């Protein structure tokens, strides 16, 4: 990886390597915009991990430009103290401190800003909806000044590069794109008009910070919507913006209508925007930062080597493993906890109001989840080698416990192995690889092909037993459920690739949708039966959007508010909410209606007096994220 670890220079600022952490919402900002120790520690850890530059998350330049109560802000001097702490800690850990200036425009809500959102035109955000207030010329001039004020504050706080957020459907992007700008004055119309606001912002910031200070511009070079920017149009759009005083461009994609291109889920190929970056780099002869599903240092090195970009942005990858750059430089690739693009980080922000990571349970909790040596060494018996069992085993072993891990299968990984069967989830194998490496590294004794009984436990004489035995598929209690054409989702995802058959999948939850997609991709004619009004409800929103699109492309039939009544020799009988029955011909019926805890061993152990803990699905069927988190907590406390 020679190319990735060569230096680079942006207008006098020296970068030690080609890795940049892009601006990424931490959701560690208080509701009043203040920065806490937790925020500072988050950025310290990312800077300490070895990237050349860390760009602080989007900082609002004006109160009505805020998109979330947890957004960072830079529109008043009172925010300088917290911002300075972040800049100083980044610099002390060896990274160039950078900051992104931002205005949400129409992509916010009255609930957040207590007024109508500002926009270039009277077009509401297609996701948030609600009336907007089109900007006047005077309002535009005032905002240009606010961007300049923000830049001055960033310099005062100690940041050494400023990035202007002109992407992702926010205000500057709204001006650039015909999708959101239908003005007929000098700020609309042709490319020169639509770039005027961006050019004025760049010129104002350049005037405030001087000739020697580097400025970056982030653009959504492709918006993937009617009248949205394309790569070719973005090249023409960027020319006058760059000439106004931009030193480097970050090439991203997507807007408020196409968020799946902003934080690309695992359906999308790695480095899916690198080719766009390359086209812009060649056309404009300006340094380029590539972003988008770059989660592997080998891949990142390849992008630099092939001249597709000058720098690579690794965002979610540094949430998953802050030390990725350092490990890559040292050649410790097997120790990298790779981002799997599950978008748990994004979904947890929207659903829970805080950032979480499936593969890294310590994200946002780094200090309280530090691993410290155990006061007393104990013999720990972990039963089950799935994600939760693996995590608790290596964490406990790292603390000094004598850990024995028992798995009835011949390989470790549990349901993650089954989950990685479908093409788009192959990267789950990276998580298994990481967990297995930690098991080896910290000396966990592995016992494969070993189904544990009470007898086994009595022979082992453990001080602590941790049950991570997982769950079993649930079968509906209907007539004909034992017919030969019926199989569970486990049977469909294990073993040889499925043969093409006319298939009915019972259950349209996350598992049912994934199985249906897998079968449709293999050439089967698939129908999904779901009792609820919608399918894929528990799926992360961007993954759900793409998965449903793929199911439609494969002509998968979806029947919601429909109940399985019985299974017959050559199909199933289902009923709608009015009770009308329909026969569906099928050669195969796959049951994917859920799971139940595998509690048999726990019930046998109850009267025997052992210290027993349960984690993951054997406690209650949930997600791999929960199992890993529970394992991480328990491994630190036993």
**Domain spans of the chain?**
3-352, 379-473+598-637, 486-593
Count Cβ atoms below 10 Å from residue 350 Cβ, excluding itself: 11
Q: Which residues are catalytic?
A: 170
Average pLDDT, the chain: 95
In this prediction, residue 58 carries a pLDDT of: 98
State the Cα–Cα distance between residues 6 and 220, nearest whole angstrom. Answer: 27
Is residue 296 a contact partner of residue 270, using CB atoms and an 8 Å limit?
yes
Average pLDDT score over residue span 253-261:
96
pLDDT for residue 622:
64
Residues 6+ apart with CB under 8 A from 201: 143, 144, 147, 148, 164, 172
Question: How big is the CA angle at 130 (ends 124 and 136), to the nearest 5 degrees?
Answer: 55
365-408 per-position pLDDT tens digit: 888 899 999 999 999 999 999 999 999 999 999 999 999 999 99
Q: Which residues pair with 557 in a beta bridge?
A: 527
Q: What DSSP line would sit under 321-357, residue for residue? A: -TTHHHHHHTT-GGG--------HHHHHHHHHSS---
Is 45 within 8 Å of 15 (Cβ atoms)? no
Strand partners, 424: none
Q: How confident is the model at residue 415 (pLDDT cuts 50, 70, 90)?
A: confident
Please give the radius of gyration of the chain, using alpha carbons only, rounded to the nearest integer: 27
More confident residue, 160 or 347: 160
**pLDDT of amino acid 136:** 98
Q: Identify the CATH assignment for 379-473+598-637 out of 3.40.1670.10, 1.10.540.10, 3.40.50.720, 3.40.50.300.
A: 3.40.50.720
Tell me the Ramachandran region of residue 609: left when phi exceeds 0, alpha when psi lies from -120 to 50, beta otherwise.
Answer: left
In this predicted structure, what is the pLDDT of residue 620?
62
pLDDT band at 621 (very low <50, low <70, confident <90, very high): low
CATH of domain 3-352: 3.20.20.70
Q: Is the pTM of this model over 0.75?
A: yes
Which secondary structure element, helix H or strand E, spans residue 448, and what is its range? Answer: none
> What DSSP string runs through 410-434?
SSS-THHHHHT-SGGGTTHHHHHHH
Q: Look at the block and give the residue holding tokens 């911002």.
A: 83
222 contact partners, CB below 8 Å, separation of at least 6: 228, 229, 230, 231, 234, 253, 254, 261, 273, 276
Kindly give the interhelix angle for 37-48 and 80-92, rounded to the nearest 10 degrees: 30
Q: Which helix (H) or strand (E) holds 460?
A: helix 454-460
| Rounded distance between C-alpha atoms, residue 358 and residue 393, angstroms | 17
First to last CA, the chain: 40
Instruction: Compute CA distances 192 → 178, 220, 315, 580, whole Å.
Output: 12, 17, 32, 61
Strand-pairing partners, residue 163, are 100, 216
Segment 523-527 shows an average pLDDT of 97
Q: Please, where are the H alpha helices in 49-176? A: 80-92, 110-113, 137-157, 171-176
How far is the C-alpha of 36 from the C-alpha of 13, rounded, in Å? 28
3-class DSSP assignment, residue 187: coil
Q: Is the pLDDT of residue 428 over 90?
A: no
Q: Decide if 589 contacts 567 (C-beta within 8 A).
A: yes
Alpha carbons 247 and 214: distance in angstroms, whole number: 6
Architecture of domain 486-593: 3-Layer(bba) Sandwich (3.50)
- DSSP string covering 509-554: SHHHHHHHHHHHHTT-EEEEE-SSSSS-TTS-HHHHHHHHHHHHHT
**Distances 611 to 528, 607, 608, 619 between C-alpha atoms, Å:** 44, 11, 9, 15
Q: Residue 308 is inside which H or E element, if any?
A: none
Cα(113)–Cα(2) distance, rounded to whole angstroms?
Answer: 47
Tell whether the model's pLDDT for residue 271 goes beyond 90. Answer: yes
């Amino acid at each position: 990886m020679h190319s990735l670890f060569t230096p680079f220079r942006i207008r006098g600022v020296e970068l030690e390597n080609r890795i940049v952490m892009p601006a990424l919402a931490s959701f560690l900002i208080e509701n009043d915009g203040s920065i806490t120790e937790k925020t500072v520690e988050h950025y310290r850890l990312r800077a300490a991990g070895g990237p050349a530059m860390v760009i602080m998350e989007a900082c609002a330049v004006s109160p009505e430009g805020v998109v979330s109560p947890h957004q960072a802000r830079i529109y008043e001097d009172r925010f300088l103290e917290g911002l300075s702490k972040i800049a100083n800690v980044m610099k002390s850990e060896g990274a160039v401190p950078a900051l992104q200036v931002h205005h949400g425009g129409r992509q916010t809500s009255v609930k957040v800003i207590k007024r109508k959102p500002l926009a270039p035109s009277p077009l509401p955000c297609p996701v948030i909806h609600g009336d907007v207030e089109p900007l006047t010329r005077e309002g535009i001039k005032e905002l240009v000044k606010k961007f300049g004020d923000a830049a001055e504050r960033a310099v005062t706080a100690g940041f050494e590069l400023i990035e202007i957020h002109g992407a992702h459907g926010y205000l500057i992007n709204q001006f650039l794109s015909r999708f959101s700008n239908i003005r007929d004055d000098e700020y609309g119309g042709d490319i020169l008009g639509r770039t005027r606001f961006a050019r004025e912002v760049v010129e104002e910031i350049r005037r405030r910070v001087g000739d020697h200070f580097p400025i970056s511009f982030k653009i959504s070079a492709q918006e993937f919507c009617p009248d949205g920017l394309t790569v070719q149009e973005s090249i023409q759009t960027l020319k006058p913006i760059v000439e106004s005083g931009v030193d480097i461009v970050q090439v991203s994609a997507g807007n408020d209508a196409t968020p799946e291109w902003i934080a690309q889920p695992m359906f999308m190929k790695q480095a899916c925007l690198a080719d766009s970056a390359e086209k812009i780099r060649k056309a404009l002869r300006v340094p380029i930062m590539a972003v988008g599903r770059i989660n592997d240092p080998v891949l990142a090195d390849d992008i630099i080597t092939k001249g597709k970009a000058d720098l690579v942005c690794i965002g979610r990858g540094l949430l998953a493993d802050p030390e990725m750059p350092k490990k890559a430089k040292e050649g410790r690739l097997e120790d990298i906890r790779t981002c799997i693009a599950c978008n748990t980080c994004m979904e947890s922000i929207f659903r829970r109001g805080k950032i979480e990571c499936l593969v890294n349970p310590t994200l946002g909790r780094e200090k309280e989840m530090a691993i410290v040596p155990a006061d007393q060494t104990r013999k720990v018996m972990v039963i089950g080698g799935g994600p939760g069992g693996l995590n608790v085993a290596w964490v406990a072993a790292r603390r000094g416990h004598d850990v024995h891990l028992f798995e009835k299968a011949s390989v470790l990984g549990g349901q993650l192995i089954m989950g990685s069967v479908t093409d788009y989830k192959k990267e789950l194998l990276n998580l298994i690889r990481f967990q297995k490496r930690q098991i080896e590294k910290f000396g966990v004794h592995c016992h494969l092909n070993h189904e544990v009984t009470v007898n086994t436990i009595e022979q082992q004489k453990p001080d602590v037993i941790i049950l991570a035995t997982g769950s079993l598929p649930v079968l509906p209690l209907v007539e004909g459920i034992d017919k030969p054409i019926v199989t569970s989702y486990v049977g469909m995802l294990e073993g040889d690739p499925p043969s093409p058959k006319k298939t009915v999948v019972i259950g349209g939850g996350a598992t049912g949708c994934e199985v249906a997609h897998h079968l449709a991709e293999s050439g089967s004619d698939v129908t999904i039966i779901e009792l609820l009004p919608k399918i894929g409800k528990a799926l992360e929103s961007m993954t759900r959007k793409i998965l449903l699109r793929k199911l439609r492309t494969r002509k998968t039939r979806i029947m919601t508010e429909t109940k399985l009544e019985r299974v017959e020799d050559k199909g199933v009988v289902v009923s709608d909410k009015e009770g009308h029955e329909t026969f569906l011909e099928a050669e195969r019926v796959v049951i994917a209606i859920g799971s139940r805890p595998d509690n048999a061993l726990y019930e046998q152990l109850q009267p025997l007096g052992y210290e027993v803990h349960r984690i993951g699905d054997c406690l209650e069927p949930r997600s791999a994220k929960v199992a890993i988190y529970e394992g991480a907590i328990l491994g630190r406390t036993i």
